Amino acid sequence: MPKRVHRQPASGSPAGTLLRASRPARAAASLPSTSSMVSLAGRRVLITGAASGIGQAMACRFAEAGAALILVDRDRHRLEQVARLISTQDSPTPAAGAATTLVPAPTAPGPSPAITTYVLDLAATNEITRFWQSLPDEQLPDTLINNAGIYPMRDFLQTDEALLRRTLSVNLEAVLWMCQKFVARRLNRGGVIINVSSIEAVLPFKSDMIPYTVSKAGVIALTRGLARDYGRRGFRVNAILPGAIRTPGTKALVRLALRKLKVDLWRTGYHFQNRLALGRWGDPDEVARVALFLASDLASYVQGALIPVDGGFLSS
């Protein structure tokens, strides 16, 4: 019988690819540890809309991960409360489903992360420009989280220019200008951008929110455009789409429905709840954890992604 000869597949062939894939992975010792990849020690993170809700939860989580913080909001009092809370708490992050409070805990041992607060009206482009001009190079953030937003409700036929302008200015234009200034200042260094859009941009569900829906759809387009144009310059750009999150804003809608007996809001709330695959509303901290993932080295190959944090609403 002829002697059987075993040959290795060519390296460029599909079989060669399978052979390489079957070889043992690199030794674990050569890979960074999970804890080091999650850590944001030495990082500086800018969060807009940081005085309450999702922004406050993000500030708490990022401080816990060791990041220095630049917190931006137009509410000076609550912004200072959040900064004080983070500075004086050992574990500032609330458990999932728990209400976020502003009651300081006993002073934590060890140094607290640096926290700088800025009172800023994001609807004013000149204020955004002055803000970035005031930041020295050594205090530039390496991560930008555009979280601030407003959601006025009004019948489309009653929507006027003032409401439309205000909504687009805060929810879309401010995000664009903040991204532009960030990229310009870090063009040779790269960075991370996380934009907060909404499930309403993908599947409008609540009536009387067309300007809001338009503005958040614009955030998605902006995110994907930046991801394409600046990925090779070292920028990772992604978006989070929250939905059914218990924030001061959503709680206010519930109170409005109860106080004014708004049957349409009750009906919307009922159908909305039935679409949630997890059967419950989310906590702001559950959005903050996804933002922490996107900012960390765990997401080093995630680019131009739209990540719903909605309890399964969009999948139902």
CATH number at residue 102: 3.40.50.720
For residue 298, the enclosing domain spans: 39-309
Question: Looking at the DSSP assignment, which residues form a beta bridge with residue 115?
Answer: 69
Structural domain contains residue 18: no
- Position 248 in a domain: yes
Q: Indicate whether 28 belongs to any domain.
A: no
Whether 97 is covered by a domain: the verdict is yes
How many domains are contained in the chain? 1
Whose CA is closest to 177, among 142, 138, 133? 133
Provide the 3-class DSSP secondary structure of residue 191: strand
Does 33 reside within a domain? no
Which among 74, 66, 19 is positioned nearest to 39, based on CA atoms? 66
pTM higher than 0.85 for the full model? no
Domain annotation covers residue 24:
no
Among 150, 180, 153, CA closest to 166: 150
Whether 175 maps to a domain, the answer reads yes
* 3-state SS, one letter per residue, for 209-220: CHHHHHHHHHHH
Mind listing the pLDDT tens digit of every residue in the chain (316 residues)?
A: 545 544 544 544 444 433 344 444 555 568 999 999 999 999 999 999 999 999 999 999 999 999 999 999 999 999 999 999 999 875 445 444 443 333 333 333 345 569 999 999 999 999 999 999 999 999 999 999 999 999 898 999 999 999 999 999 999 999 999 999 999 999 999 999 999 999 999 999 888 999 999 999 999 999 999 999 999 999 999 999 999 999 877 666 666 655 655 667 667 777 888 899 999 999 999 999 999 999 999 999 999 999 999 999 999 8
Active site positions, annotated: 212
Residue 143 inside a domain? The answer is yes
